[in-house]
């Protein structure tokens, strides 16, 4: 296969699920052109890896903005123009055709002649050691590579299973957005060789996306109005630039939504096709993109919060944390909490597309350098009708429910740890095993309880307090915590010491012993 024939506009590389009403045919994968043209017939992307899903959504948001002309704030009202496209029921075919005609040559996965493979840097063949490349096991983050422990499968760097081009493209995106910091393949530019990379813009973060009944709704709801100063001739995606960026210069700062969505990578990659097996990728170069400087992290799909030191940082992905615990931070303008969370900017505008949008959370629990822990993928029922500007009466109820659920979760953890310490007669005894078992019993029940009560909230404003009963909610969460506590501690209550420890610690479920007020000595 000639290397320059795999074009991402035409080749079927994106897995999708079709709506029931979609006309035939229903291929399992589509290229970018069919995806944009038939987005109204596609229910959702079916990408197995959440970070790849999150990364591809950002690419698609940028393409949607381009083909609709929503990449600039004018002419006219941006919101009205988006609603006009929504009423049309599809992305404008003429816009898709015009964009593909202009940039199709920049969407080849391999490009030996032109030197501009999509989202890659062809200069790496001359700037990196061809005999010491990263390899495809390093490229695909679910595989063990080098001395790393096996995660999902065993593999050999000497004889790796070669990925398909579709799999390699999605892994390429994961590296661009979630790539680690630290040591990488050495890259030599102008006689200076270095091997240190900066973390990708979404590393450790959890991103939240409005999701509609079709991909068409999802893409429109995911757009954020550009500032009035944004010009598409300057706000460029990487494949729209005439020249590759200078790796020795400071990274170019994004100047609009499209560059912010697609051009913040800190890594440079290059895929090597397998000459003997068409459709497979044989090798990969992975190294740093810029020797100095870092593009400031800014993203419209993250919850931003403030650390105790006053630093702004995105809420990290935590595979043990259910999505409902972030719901008030997604729906409310000023949700409660010492971290002062700020909801993702996209949710300021998403409800204009539909009140029946769901929220999809996608991320990767990982640390800043090399360690990856677990994917995070969760979604909610339709919630956009409960945003604070749409239904302000529900705001206190949503926040209070989340607080109650979390409060009894914390009390349960404290209670089981105290019971364990008293049973062991060691104040420093580690009760993490009991705490983990109690959490596994409590949080799924608390999530079901939260959504059941959420569904019964009145978002019309006709019922006082949106119909929320705080006393009943408190009783329900306390019952879940008590059941979990009794189950976890049951094994030690057959002994006198165990029964005494469990009885003493139970009071923590109710808030613990009240501290006596200190009396001020009389003068």
- Note the pLDDT of residue 257: 95
Task: With a cut of 50, list the residues of the chain below it in pLDDT.
Answer: 1-2, 522-523
504 in a structural domain: yes
Number of domains in the chain: 2
- Note the pLDDT of residue 247: 94
Same domain, 127 and 247: yes
518 in a structural domain: no
311 in a structural domain: no
- Note the pLDDT of residue 475: 95
358 in a structural domain: no
Supply the range of the domain harboring residue 58. 2-286
Q: Which residues of 496-522 are buried (b: 16+ CB within 10 A; e: fewer)?
A: eebeebbeebbebbeeeeeeeeeeeee
Same domain, 269 and 414: no
- Note the pLDDT of residue 1: 44
Same domain, 89 and 209: yes
Same domain, 238 and 93: yes
**206, 237, 341, 343 from 209: Cα distances, Å:** 10, 21, 17, 12
Same domain, 169 and 281: yes
**332, 348, 359, 401, 468 from 459: Cα distances, Å:** 14, 18, 18, 15, 11
Measure the CA angle with vertex 393, ends 389 and 399; round to 5°.
90
């Amino acid at each position: 296969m000639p290397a320059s024939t795999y074009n991402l506009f035409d080749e079927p590389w994106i897995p999708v699920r079709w709506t029931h009403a979609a006309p035939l045919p229903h291929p399992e994968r589509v290229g970018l052109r069919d995806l944009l043209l038939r987005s109204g017939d596609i229910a959702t992307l079916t990408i197995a890896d959440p970070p790849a899903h999150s990364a591809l959504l950002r690419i698609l948001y940028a393409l949607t903005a381009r083909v609709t002309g929503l990449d600039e704030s004018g002419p006219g009202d941006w919101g009205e123009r988006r609603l006009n496209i929504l009423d049309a029921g599809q992305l404008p075919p003429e816009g898709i055709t015009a964009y593909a005609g202009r940039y199709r040559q920049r969407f080849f996965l391999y490009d030996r002649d032109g030197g501009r493979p999509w989202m890659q840097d062809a200069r790496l063949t001359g700037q990196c050691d061809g005999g010491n490349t990263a390899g495809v096991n390093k490229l695909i983050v679910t595989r063990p590579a080098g001395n790393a422990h096996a995660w999902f499968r065993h593999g050999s760097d000497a004889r790796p299973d070669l990925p398909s081009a579709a799999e390699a493209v999605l892994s390429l995106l994961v590296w661009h957005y979630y790539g680690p910091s630290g040591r990488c393949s050495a890259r030599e530019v102008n006689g200076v060789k270095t091997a240190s990379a900066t973390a990708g813009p979404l590393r450790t973060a959890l991103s939240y996306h409005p999701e509609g009944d079709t991909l068409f709704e999802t893409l429109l709801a995911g757009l954020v109005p550009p500032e009035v100063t944004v010009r598409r001739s300057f706000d460029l995606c990487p494949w729209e630039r005439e020249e590759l960026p200078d790796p020795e210069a400071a990274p170019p700062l994004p100047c609009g939504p499209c560059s912010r969505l697609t051009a913040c990578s800190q890594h440079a990659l290059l895929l090597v096709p397998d000459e003997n097996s068409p459709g497979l990728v044989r090798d990969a170069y992975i190294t740093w993109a810029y020797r100095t400087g870092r593009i400031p992290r800014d993203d419209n799909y993250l919850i931003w919060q403030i650390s105790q030191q006053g630093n702004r940082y995105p809420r990290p992905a935590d595979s043990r944390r259910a999505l409902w615990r972030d719901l008030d931070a997604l729906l409310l303008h000023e949700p409660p909490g010492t971290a002062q969370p700020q909801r993702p900017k996209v949710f300021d505008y998403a409800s204009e597309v539909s009140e029946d949008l769901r929220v999809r959370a996608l991320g990767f629990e990982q640390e800043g350098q090399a360690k990856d822990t677990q994917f995070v993928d969760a979604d909610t029922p339709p919630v956009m009708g409960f945003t604070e500007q749409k239904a302000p009466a529900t705001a206190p109820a949503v926040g209070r429910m989340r607080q109650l659920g979390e409060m009894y979760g914390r009390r349960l953890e404290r209670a089981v740890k105290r019971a364990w310490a008293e049973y062991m007669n060691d104040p420093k005894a580690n009760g993490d095993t009991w705490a983990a078992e109690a959490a596994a019993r409590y949080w799924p029940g608390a999530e079901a309880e939260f959504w059941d009560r959420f569904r019964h909230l009145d978002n019309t404003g006709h019922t006082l307090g949106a119909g929320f009963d705080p006393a009943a909610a408190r009783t329900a969460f306390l019952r879940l915590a008590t059941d979990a506590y009794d189950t976890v501690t049951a094994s030690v209550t057959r002994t006198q010491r165990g029964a005494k420890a469990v009885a003493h610690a139970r009071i923590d479920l109710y808030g613990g012993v009240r501290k006596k007020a200190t009396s001020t000595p009389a003068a």
